[in-house]
């Protein structure tokens, strides 16, 4: 079966591989398109740069030609025309030079797109370029002055002398532009060709694996059918097991009920017998019988409640009752046990806690008695205290709002070890075998209390020796004592959801 599951995973892998492969092919295809556009754009940009650079050569020659025409022409009309041409050419000459170095959107040149080599070449070109520009501007300024004829020749000599250097270096720049453009285009084409090869390779691999994918899918379908059959068998077995467990719980509930009926008669007649005239020895025997019968009845009741809960036959009742009276009645039942051990039984109910509530008072009393009884049982000196607080969690219903009642049963007893906390709320579990022998018990009390709390919309947890077990409620920080602060004894917490009810008038 494991091998078949591995084959199924293999098929799933190939399905994912197929989808990823197609995605990669599509991505590479669009990448190729992008690279092609980039090549075209790069070629256009390179041609534009080379064109502007070549035009610089032509403009430098026009500057020389116009300056010579001004110097040697005898016609004023020609001189004036050459002067106007010289102004336009020098402006365009400067604009193109700056555009080649720093970029110009109007000329179609990208900002600062030159390589370090070309930038260095422009630095070397700067001296003849500046000399030509300055000589041309000085020429234009002094043309109409009295000493113009004497000064013009000097400016023309500077222009002609630097033109040769400028043309030589400008040729080198043009060649470098062309070389870098071809190199970039070649690199881009290489990447494009590489991507095309990768695309073809992926398509080839997809073709190889597609047959395996089909076979894996067939195998997966077969395995899925077998798994479905197995799941149906397991589902049937689970239903049978649940049915058996339900019958077992129903049997335990029925047999516990049948045992409890004669036990009630036995305990009742024992109480009657104690009211008769008995000598001390006989009375001692009868009291032992009564105590044993009551202990057995507690065990039977626990088994009956546990069986009812597991069989989903335990139903909660909604009753209006006084919370304070409920707490006091629980303490009254355990007062004699606490008195025998010289323990103080205390309780505190926060002022914000509603006094009249609607809930199952029997089950709430059962939880409180169970926890307080355990606290008394495992406490040799000191006190056992019940602290009750509440928090309103639903304010929409003003007539009957919902409260989360929080009970904390705190003792100064022996506490619980971290190992014992791990299984504390599990059925039939004891803290350890020595305590089981010393204190007795079935190990069902806390498990039943936990299930009752959950049925009443709450949680239960315990703090002892700096550790926490159960399901603590942390929405209300003031109701949750820090676990690290509990170093003596134990504190059991539980919550239930209740609704408030109008106050019950007291009878005179």
Using the predicted structure, report yes or no on whether residue 160 has a pLDDT greater than 60: yes
Rounded distance, CA 217 to CA 320, Å?
Answer: 64
Tokens of 45: 């940009």
* CB-based contact 384:330 (threshold 8 Å): no
Using the predicted structure, report yes or no on whether residue 83 has a pLDDT greater than 80: no
Domain-located, residue 228: no
Of 340 and 248, the structure prediction assigns the larger pLDDT to 340
Using the predicted structure, report yes or no on whether residue 330 has a pLDDT greater than 80: yes
Using the predicted structure, report yes or no on whether residue 469 has a pLDDT greater than 60: yes
Last residue of a domain, one of 207, 222, 252: 207
328 shares its domain with 452: yes
The pLDDT of residue 396 is 64
Domain-located, residue 291: no
The pLDDT tens digits of the residues spanning 211-249 come to: 776 777 778 788 888 888 888 888 888 888 877 767 776
Using the predicted structure, report yes or no on whether residue 452 has a pLDDT greater than 60: yes
What are the distances in angstroms from CA 357 to CA 139, 394, 505? 109, 15, 14
Domain-located, residue 216: no
What are the distances in angstroms from CA 331 to CA 25, 188, 315, 414? 78, 90, 25, 21
Segment of 96-110, 212-226, 302-316, 345-359 carrying the highest mean pLDDT: 345-359
Using the predicted structure, report yes or no on whether residue 328 has a pLDDT greater than 90: yes
CATH number of the domain enclosing 361: 3.30.565.10
The pLDDT of residue 35 is 64
Q: Residue 458: pLDDT band by 50, 70, 90 thresholds?
A: very high
Rounded distance, CA 198 to CA 471, Å?
Answer: 57
The pLDDT of residue 478 is 45
Segment of 32-46, 309-323, 357-371, 425-439 carrying the highest mean pLDDT: 357-371
Q: Residue 165: pLDDT band by 50, 70, 90 thresholds?
A: confident
The pLDDT of residue 434 is 53
Q: What are phi and psi of 398, to 5 degrees?
A: -75, -25
Rounded distance, CA 49 to CA 368, Å?
Answer: 92
The pLDDT of residue 25 is 65
Please name the residue ranges forming H helices in 311-458: 323-333, 335-340, 361-377, 418-422, 433-439, 445-455
Q: Radius of gyration of the chain from Cα atoms?
A: 50
Cβ within 8 Å of residue 263, ≥6 positions away:
293, 296, 297, 300
The pLDDT of residue 465 is 83
Cβ within 8 Å of residue 299, ≥6 positions away:
442
Domain-located, residue 227: no
Q: 294: part of which helix (H) or strand (E)?
A: helix 280-310
Q: Residue 9: pLDDT band by 50, 70, 90 thresholds?
A: low
Domain-located, residue 13: no
Rounded distance, CA 141 to CA 449, Å?
Answer: 109
The pLDDT tens digits of the residues spanning 350-400 come to: 999 999 999 999 899 999 999 999 899 889 999 999 999 999 886 665 667
Q: What are phi and psi of 313, to 5 degrees?
A: -110, 0
Rounded distance, CA 160 to CA 187, Å?
Answer: 41
Of 116 and 209, the structure prediction assigns the larger pLDDT to 116
487 shares its domain with 370: yes
In the chain, how long is the greatest CA-to-CA distance?
Answer: 164
Last residue of a domain, one of 160, 191, 207: 207
Q: ∠ CA(400), CA(476), CA(355), 5° rounding? A: 35
Rounded distance, CA 99 to CA 59, Å?
Answer: 14
Rounded distance, CA 122 to CA 170, Å?
Answer: 9
Q: Residue 151: pLDDT band by 50, 70, 90 thresholds?
A: low
Of 13-27, 106-120, 171-185, 334-348, minimum mean pLDDT range: 13-27
**Domain of 339?**
315-500
The pLDDT tens digits of the residues spanning 273-304 come to: 888 888 988 888 888 888 788 777 777 777 77
The pLDDT of residue 505 is 53
Sign of CA dihedral 283, 285, 291, 293: negative
Domain-located, residue 350: yes
Using the predicted structure, report yes or no on whether residue 146 has a pLDDT greater than 60: no
Domain-located, residue 246: no
* Range 472-491 average pLDDT: 59
Number of domains in the chain: 2
Rounded distance, CA 134 to CA 140, Å?
Answer: 10
* CB-based contact 196:54 (threshold 8 Å): no
Rounded distance, CA 79 to CA 223, Å?
Answer: 99
> Measuring CA to CA, which residue among 281, 292, 286, 260 is closest to residue 271?
286
Last residue of a domain, one of 207, 242, 274: 207
Rounded distance, CA 413 to CA 26, Å?
Answer: 73
Q: What are phi and psi of 208, to 5 degrees?
A: -70, -45
Using the predicted structure, report yes or no on whether residue 166 has a pLDDT greater than 50: yes
Of 22-31, 372-381, 447-456, 484-493, minimum mean pLDDT range: 22-31
Cβ within 8 Å of residue 125, ≥6 positions away:
166, 169, 170, 173
Domain-located, residue 295: no
Rounded distance, CA 345 to CA 485, Å?
Answer: 22
The pLDDT of residue 477 is 43
Rounded distance, CA 495 to CA 449, Å?
Answer: 11
């Amino acid at each position: 079966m494991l091998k078949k599951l591995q084959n199924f995973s293999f098929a799933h892998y190939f399905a994912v591989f197929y989808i990823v492969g197609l995605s990669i092919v599509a991505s590479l295809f669009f990448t190729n398109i992008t690279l092609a556009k980039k090549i075209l754009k790069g070629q256009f940009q390179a041609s534009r740069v080379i064109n502007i650079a070549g035009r610089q050569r032509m403009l430098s020659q026009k500057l020389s030609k116009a300056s010579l025409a001004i110097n040697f022409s005898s016609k004023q009309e020609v001189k004036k025309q050459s002067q106007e041409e010289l102004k336009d050419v020098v402006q365009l000459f400067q604009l193109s030079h700056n555009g080649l170095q720093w970029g110009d959107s109007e000329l179609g040149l990208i900002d600062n797109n030159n390589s370090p080599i070309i930038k260095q070449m422009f630095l070397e070109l700067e001296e003849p370029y500046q000399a030509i520009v300055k000589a041309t501007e000085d020429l234009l300024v002094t043309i109409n002055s009295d000493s113009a004829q004497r000064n013009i020749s000097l400016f023309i000599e500077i222009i002609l002398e630097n033109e040769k250097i400028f043309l030589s270096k400008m040729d080198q720049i043009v060649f470098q532009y062309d070389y870098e453009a071809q190199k970039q285009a070649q690199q881009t084409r290489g990447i494009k060709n590489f991507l095309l090869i990768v695309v073809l390779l992926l398509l080839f691999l997809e073709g190889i694996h597609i047959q395996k994918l089909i076979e894996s899918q067939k195998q997966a379908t077969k395995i899925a059918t077998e798994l479905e059959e197995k799941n149906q068998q397991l589902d049937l077995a689970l239903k049978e097991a649940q049915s058996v467990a339900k019958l077992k719980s129903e049997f335990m509930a029925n047999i516990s009920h049948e045992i409890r009926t004669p036990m009630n008669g036995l305990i009742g007649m024992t109480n009657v017998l104690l009211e008769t005239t008995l000598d001390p020895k006989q009375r001692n025997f009868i009291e032992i019988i009564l105590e044993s019968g009551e202990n057995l009845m507690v065990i039977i009741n626990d088994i009956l409640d546990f069986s009812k809960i597991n069989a989903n036959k335990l139903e909660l009742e909604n009753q209006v009752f006084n919370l304070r009276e409920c707490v006091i009645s629980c303490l009254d039942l355990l007062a004699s046990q606490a008195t025998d051990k010289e323990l103080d039984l205390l309780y505190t109910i926060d002022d914000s806690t509603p006094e009249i509530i609607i809930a199952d008072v029997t089950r709430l009393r059962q939880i409180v008695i169970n926890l307080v009884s355990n606290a008394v049982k495992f406490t040799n000196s000191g006190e056992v205290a019940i602290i009750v607080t509440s928090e309103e969690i639903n304010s929409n219903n003003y007539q009957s709002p919902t409260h989360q009642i929080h009970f904390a049963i705190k003792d100064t007893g022996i506490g619980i070890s971290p190992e014992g906390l791990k299984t504390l709320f599990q059925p039939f579990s004891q803290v350890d075998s020595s305590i089981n022998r010393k204190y007795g018990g079935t190990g069902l009390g806390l498990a039943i209390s936990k299930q009752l709390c959950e049925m009443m919309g709450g949680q239960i947890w315990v703090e002892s020796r700096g550790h926490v077990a159960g399901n603590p409620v942390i929405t209300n920080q003031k109701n949750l004592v820090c676990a690290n602060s509990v170093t003596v004894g134990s504190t059991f917490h539980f919550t239930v959801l209740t609704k408030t009810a109008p106050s019950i008038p007291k009878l005179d």
